[in-house]
């Protein structure tokens, strides 16, 4: 599932840096009864990412569409 999210990231955000897939033993992942991943979508402390994606309806919609189409 994470690889699908990664592949689609490059389609939706070709000019943005992909920070990779990391495997961690998070409680929320480990203790679920279904397939699960955590998706990190940009950073509030990066001004450009915050303005373009996180603080705009268009940017948030694009992030949501990326995740939806990856699943």
Q: How confident is the model at residue 54 (pLDDT cuts 50, 70, 90)?
A: very high
Q: Look up residue 11 and give its two tokens.
A: 């389609």
Distance CA 46, CA 50 (A): 6
What does the pLDDT read at residue 64?
A: 95
H-type alpha helices, 13-46: 27-30
Percent of the chain with pLDDT over 70: 100
Work out the average pLDDT over 16-30. Answer: 87
Is pLDDT above 90 for 32? no
């Amino acid at each position: 599932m994470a690889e699908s999210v990664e592949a689609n990231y490059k389609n939706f955000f070709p000019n943005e840096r992909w920070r990779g897939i990391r495997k961690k033993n998070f409680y929320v992942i480990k203790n679920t009864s279904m397939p699960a991943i955590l998706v990190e979508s940009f950073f509030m402390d990066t001004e450009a990412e915050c303005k373009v994606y996180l603080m705009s309806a268009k940017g948030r919609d694009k992030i949501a569409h990326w995740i939806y189409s990856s699943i």
